[in-house]
Every structure is written in structure tokens, then in C-alpha cells.
Amino acid sequence: MVLAGELELANCSRVRDAAISLLAQSTTRIVMDLSGLSFIDSSGVGVVIGTLKRARERQGAVALVCTDPTILRVFEITGLAQVLSLHATQEEANQALREEEPS
């Protein structure tokens, strides 16, 4: 999933629905590319958390691409930087998902 612009209360349900729909298609490993985001609020953070929870329920995983310091700071303040798989590029995020794959 590639997201751009502002992820906020006004549009977070569309992103949540898209993630749920991806997971319903037997996809359990998702890269959420947030590198085009300029703003995220707690509703947007909630979508990221919800996607991660739903993926984990299906033995899946989520890796995030995020380089914007403002958005990274939100993950740090909320303590989520410790539990999210954060990466600088899509390649790194894909690699992380491959490494997590159950053998």
C-alpha cells in the first residue's frame, strides 16, 4: 500500500477498508509505504496499528516505509517505534518481511 498526503480522521476509514480488503484476499504480509505522507494523526496511527493487529491475527506481518522525521517522531512519542517494523525503503521493508516469513 502506498500512501501519500495527510493520513487523518477525514480519510483514515478509506485506508482501513483498503487494508482490510487486502487482508481478506489472503494477503497477510503487507508493506505500508508512508514515505509520501506529510502528516499523520492518532486516527492514522490507529489504522497502522489496526492493520498490524489484523495481519498478526492471520500469522502475517506489516513492514512500514517511513523517512519523514515528523511522522517518525509521532511513532516515537507513542512508543510504537519499538513495536513497528520501520524501514527507509520499500526494498528494506520487503526484505524484512521475507526474513520474518515462517520457514
What are the residues binding other proteins (CB under 8 A)? 6, 8-10, 39, 41-43, 45-47, 49-50, 52-53, 70, 73-74, 77-80, 82-83
Question: 44 or 65, CB closer to other proteins?
Answer: 44
What's the min distance (Å) between Cβ of 71 and other proteins?
10
**Rounded to an integer, what distance in angstroms lies between the CA atom of residue 25 and that of residue 71?**
29
Question: 69 or 103, CB closer to other proteins?
Answer: 69
What's the min distance (Å) between Cβ of 63 and other proteins?
16
User: Do 66 and 73 form a contact (C-beta atoms < 8 A)?
Assistant: no
What's the min distance (Å) between Cβ of 8 and other proteins?
7
CA 72 to chain centre: 12
Question: 22 or 49, CB closer to other proteins?
Answer: 49
Q: Is the dihedral of CA 87, 89, 93, 99 positive or negative?
A: negative
**Rounded to an integer, what distance in angstroms lies between the CA atom of residue 68 and that of residue 8?**
16
